[in-house]
Amino acid sequence: MRGFFEAHIVNNQNINSNNLLSLKKRVAVITGGAAGIGLATTKLLAEMGATIALLDVNESRGHEAIAEIKQLGGQAKFYLCDVTNAAKCKKTVEAIIRDFEKIDILFNNAGAIVRKNSVDISENEWDLVINVNLKSIYLLSNLIIPIMIKQGTGGSIVNTGSGWGLKGGSNAVAYCAAKGGVVNMTRAMAIDHGKHDIRVNCVCPGDTDTGLLRGEAVQLKQDMGEFMKEAADRPLNRVGLPLDIAHTVLYLVSDLSSWVTGTTIVVDGGGLA
C-alpha cells in the first residue's frame, strides 16, 4: 500500500500545472464579455488558448474587445445578443456552432443592478434585473448543455453570483433575489448534469471596480470617492479588480478544478468575513 501512495505522489509530480490551466482547443462562450469582469475573463481565457465567443448588447465595445484579443494572437468572435431573449439566444448559439462546431465552456456573466427596495422598484425594473442576472443563465444553459452532452466530452459552466447572493443588502432587492437564485440554481445544475461530466460552479464577487459598481453610486446619488472608499472597507482594504475574478473563473473552467462542481467561491477581499 505504501508503494502505491509513493507512486501516486511521484506521478502527480510529473503533472505540469500549466497543462492543467491550458484551454487550447476549447471554445468558451462568455456573456457580458465586452466590459468589466467579462472582458477581463475573455482576455485571460483567450491568453490560455481558448477560442472565444463573446456575447454582449454593446456592439462597439464588443468589436473593440475582439480586436484586442486578435491583436494579442487570440481567436475570438463577437455576437450581438440580448441574453434575456430566447429567440436571440437560440440564433446566437446556432451561429456559434456553425462558426466553431462545439462549445466546451459557458461563463454566464451578464449582469444588471437597480438600487431600489421592494416598494420603490417598478415591475419593469424588477423584470430587467431578474432576466439579465438569472433568466439568461437558464436560456443559455438550456441551449448549450444539450450540445455539451452530445459532444460527449463534458464541459464547464460558471455562473456569476454575488456576495449579495449569500447575504442581504440594502436597496437592491431584485439583485439580491436574482443572485440568491443563481447560487442555488448552480447547485441544482451541478446535481443534474454531473452524470454528463459537466461541472457547474458559481463565482461570487465582492465590490469590483467596474462600470456596474460605479453606476451604483450614480443611482444612489452618492459621492463617487466616498462610495468607492466604503466599498474598499474590507480586510484586504481595496475593491476588487476584474482580473481578480477572472483568475477564479480560469481555475473553475480548467482541468485544475476537475473534481469541483456545485460549489460557490467567494472572491471579495474578505468582505463577507
193-225 b/e with 16+ CB inside 10 Å = b? beebebbbbbbbbbbbbbeebeebbeeeeeeee
Distances (CA, A) of 76 to 34, 63, 216: 12, 10, 31
How many angstroms separate the CA atoms of 243 and 249, rounded?
A: 10
One-letter amino acid at 267 equals: V
How many angstroms separate the CA atoms of 37 and 110, rounded?
A: 9
Cell numbers at 46, concatenated: 483567450
168-187 b/e with 16+ CB inside 10 Å = b? eeebbbbbbbbbbbbbebbb
Given 79, 138, 175, 251, which residue is catalytic? Answer: 175
C-alpha count within 13 angstroms, C-beta hemisphere, residue 219 = 17
Residues 6 or more apart whose Cβ sits within 8 Å of residue 182 = 133, 134, 137, 159, 160, 161, 162, 165, 202
Q: How many C-beta atoms lie closer than 10 Å to residue 87's C-beta?
A: 9
Has 175 been annotated as catalytic? yes
Q: What is the 3-state secondary structure (H, E, C) of 69-115?
A: HHHCCCCEEEEECCCCCHHHHHHHHHHHHHHHCCCCEEEECCCCCCC
Active-site annotation, residues: 175
